[in-house]
Amino acid sequence: MGTVQIRNARKSYGSVEVLHGVSIDIEEGEFVALVGPSGCGKSTLLRMIAGLEEITSGHILIGDRIVNDVAPKDRDIAMVFQNYALYPHKNVRDNMGFALRQRRVSRDEINVRVTEAARILGLEELLDRKPRALSGGQRQRVAMGRAIVRDPNVFLFDEPLSNLDAKLRVQMRSEIKELHQRLKTTTIYVTHDQIEAMTLADRVVVMNSGVIEQAGPPLELYDNPATLFVAAFIGSPPMNFFEGDLVGGTGLVMGDGTRLALPEADPKGRQRATVGVRAEHFDLAEKGWPATVSVVEPTGSETLVMARLAGDVVRVLIRGRTAVQPGETIHLRPQRGSLHFFDAAPVPEVAQMEDVA
């Protein structure tokens, strides 16, 4: 049974707690991405599921068995590491067959399963090569092959695409998705790249500093970020934020006195708020928030306009093309129902990986 339940799991290294009570229920066949900035504890959590790190407190269940004290080899999981960890002295065939050999599967059976996995991943020609004679992308495939021949209950991936160049990363991303649709094995996938998480997963778990900020389907996180952190982390180009006092319901007065008219009031009636607007939720209008265009980046299907408003950069995504020129003043009108209100706070610095997509 490929369900995974994490119940209030904590992890401390010495006196430093790095995971502060994390709970997730993962269903059979689900593809869950753990995403968050570097150092937030994603790998630690994944390694606890794998049995490579002790669970300081709380429980982890795979199927209906508590695995806190079960050795990695007895958890029926397979893991793909960022550096692939291929056995350098074994050829591709033996790398892929190693786990089956450990389980005393017959030679014929191993052969059949390795050949099948190699066919799925396009590795047939490379079976007799040593890892050092493979390119980065090929090594990545072998690492995947080593996981799928096992036919485990759960796949664990720790940043498996981070060592590839951008183009290959996008290609392998699709292949991983396709593979999951075909095998339907429960998958937990760690990445710091929110686009990777959004495009791959059925459900995205956003982590920050050892806690879960929000978990849900990708578009739900995009449309309804529960916290300022999630709002800032998910989405590319990133959401625009404006911090200030809310006056008279629909007025936002910012630090320098600039007053912005909002199309709707904060449902929670805060005094001060940080208001978020996604780049594609602005209309260019006759009247609106005045901003001075600094850069125009056309990509053909859409155009990204960067402008300055009250000293801040605002990103505006325009469908199709635009005649807007740098230096020009434009008027931005946020669409009704597109505003995100949060308690006033500085916008978290989240290093986003710009992906080619």
Ligand X SMILES: Nc1ncnc2c1ncn2[C@@H]1O[C@H](COP(=O)(O)OP(=O)(O)O)[C@@H](O)[C@H]1O
Write out the residues near other proteins by the rule CB under 8 A. Answer: 50-52, 71-73, 75, 77-79, 81, 83-89, 98-99, 102-103, 131-132, 139, 146, 150
Q: Choose the stretch contacting ligand X; rule: CB under 6 A; options: 34-42, 59-67, 83-91, 321-329.
A: 34-42
Residue with tokens 């989405």: 235
SS3 29: coil
Out of ligand X, other proteins, Mg ion, none, which partner does residue 44 contact, by CB within 5 to 8 A per kind?
ligand X
Out of Mg ion, ligand X, other proteins, none, which partner does residue 86 contact, by CB within 5 to 8 A per kind?
other proteins
> And the tokens for 284?
């260019």
44 touching ligand X, by CB under 6 A: yes
13 touching ligand X, by CB under 6 A: yes
Reported in sequence order, the residue ranges of the chain that DSSP labels E, i.e. its strands, are 4-13, 16-26, 31-35, 57-62, 65-66, 77-80, 154-158, 186-191, 203-208, 211-216, 240-247, 251-254, 259-261, 272-277, 282-298, 302-309, 312-319, 329-334, 340-343
Alpha-carbon 158 to chain mean position: 11
CB nearer to ligand X: pick between 162 and 258: 162
CB nearer to ligand X: pick between 47 and 169: 47
Q: Among candidates 304, 309, 312, which has minimal Cα distance to 331? A: 309
Positions 38 through 57 that interact with Mg ion (CB under 5 A): 43
CB nearer to ligand X: pick between 47 and 340: 47
Q: Choose the stretch contacting ligand X; rule: CB under 6 A; options: 21-29, 36-44, 85-93, 263-271.
A: 36-44
Nearest distance from C-beta of residue 140 to other proteins, angstroms: 11
Residue selected from 26, 42, 91, 334 as contacting ligand X according to rule CB under 6 A: 42
353 touching ligand X, by CB under 6 A: no
Residue selected from 5, 7, 10, 18 as contacting ligand X according to rule CB under 6 A: 18
Nearest distance from C-beta of residue 72 to ligand X, angstroms: 16
Residue selected from 38, 181, 301, 325 as contacting ligand X according to rule CB under 6 A: 38
Out of other proteins, Mg ion, ligand X, none, which partner does residue 83 contact, by CB within 5 to 8 A per kind?
other proteins
Give the integer Cα–Cα distance in Å for 244 and 257.
Answer: 9
- Which DSSP string corresponds to 209-260? TTEEEEEE-HHHHHHS-SSHHHHHHSSSSPPEEEEEEEETTTEEEETTS-EE
Residue with tokens 């350098």: 88
Q: Among candidates 207, 100, 188, which has minimal Cα distance to 149? A: 100
Cα maximum dimension of the chain: 77
95 touching Mg ion, by CB under 5 A: no
208 touching ligand X, by CB under 6 A: no
CB nearer to other proteins: pick between 87 and 308: 87
Counting Cβ atoms within 10 Å, is residue 214 exposed (0-12), middle (13-18) or buried (19+)?
buried
Compute the CA torsion angle 165, 171, 177, 181 (nearest 10 deg). Answer: -150
Give the integer Cα–Cα distance in Å for 300 and 187.
Answer: 36
Q: Choose the stretch contacting ligand X; rule: CB under 6 A; options: 39-47, 62-70, 141-149, 245-253.
A: 39-47
CB nearer to ligand X: pick between 42 and 281: 42
43 touching ligand X, by CB under 6 A: yes
191 touching ligand X, by CB under 6 A: no
Taking CB positions, which residue lies at the least distance from ligand X? 43
Nearest distance from C-beta of residue 51 to other proteins, angstroms: 8
Give the integer Cα–Cα distance in Å for 31 and 205.
Answer: 11
Q: Among candidates 217, 222, 269, 223, which has minimal Cα distance to 245? A: 269
Out of other proteins, Mg ion, ligand X, none, which partner does residue 39 contact, by CB within 5 to 8 A per kind?
ligand X
State the residues that interact with ligand X by CB under 6 A. Answer: 13, 18, 36, 38-44
- The site for Mg ion (CB under 5 A) is made up of 43
